[in-house]
Structure 1
Amino acid sequence: MAYVTISIGGRAYRMACDDGQEEHLAGLGEEVDARIDQMRAAFGEIGDQRLSIMAAITIADELSEARRRIRALEQEVGTERAARSAAVQKLGETESQLAGTVVAAAERLEKLARELGPSPSGGVGMG
């Protein structure tokens, strides 16, 4: 277990984190501290606890909005995947129908060629 000391609102806090997460935790602390500084600049000295709660609610609101957007994007991706799957299936069906049509046309041409017999030049001709 690792420990990091972060500074928020001019106070130092010693925090535990998983090994290798020290930089990440320090960055999060810096972000919270910056939020509190922004709110202090906007609202003045209204108390550390109130500023901390306002910062936490602001961050929670942003997180909530990000989660909502992620859910909407996941639904959109699911819809797109379903549409793609349907299109691929339709393409396969169309290719199969086209192949059947080409085979049937080739068989009719061969039948017509046999019915017409050999051309005077010794092969099957077109004219």
Structure 2
Amino acid sequence: MMGRVSLNINGRKYGLGCEPGEEERLMRLGQKLDDRVNAMANQFGQIGDLRLLVMAGITLLDELEDISDAVEQKVDERIGDVRKESEKVLAHAGEAEAKAAEGLLKAAAQIEKIAAKIESIVD
């Protein structure tokens, strides 16, 4: 069964259906829209519900786009930071791998020397 809310926007009531449990959220969003429409009406006068709603919608979408752009920029910055950090880690891992290989080669050389000494003693 669908939920139902009644919103008051610029002094007019609007009945809307919604998913069950979404009533409170829809009421809160409707209040925000009403606040924005009232701000527009205070600034420009009562120029008609449709114009006020369009103006309020445009200003809300403009703010949303600014926020979205800022979030996208932050995400790009974080991706760049992660990429730089992973390059550092990979470089360090490569250095550690090279040192480990060098150590193994030295150990192998020492083992060969010891093996040769043992062979000379046994022979």
TM-score, length-normalised on structure 1?
Answer: 0.72
Mapped partners of 1:72, 1:104: distance in 2: 48
Q: Secondary structure at the match of 1:87?
A: helix
Aligned match of 2:113: none
What root-mean-square deviation, in Å, do the aligned CA atoms of Structure 1 and Structure 2 show?
2.4
Identity among equivalent pairs (%)? 32
Give the number of the structure whose residues are more often helix, by fraction: 2
Any gaps of 5 or more consecutive residues in structure 1?
A: 111-127
TM superposition shift of 1:42: 1.6
TM superposition shift of 1:88: 1.3
Aligned match of 1:41: 42
Pair 1:3 & 2:4 matched: yes
Q: Runs of at least 4 residues of structure 1 off by over 6 A?
A: 102-108
Aligned match of 1:20: 21
Mapped partners of 2:46, 2:16: distance in 1: 26
Aligned match of 2:59: 58
Aligned length: 111
TM-score, length-normalised on structure 2?
Answer: 0.74
Mapped partners of 1:4, 1:38: distance in 2: 23
Aligned match of 1:118: none
Deviates more, 1:70-79 or 1:91-100: 91-100
Deviates more, 1:4-13 or 1:36-45: 36-45
TM superposition shift of 1:107: 9.0
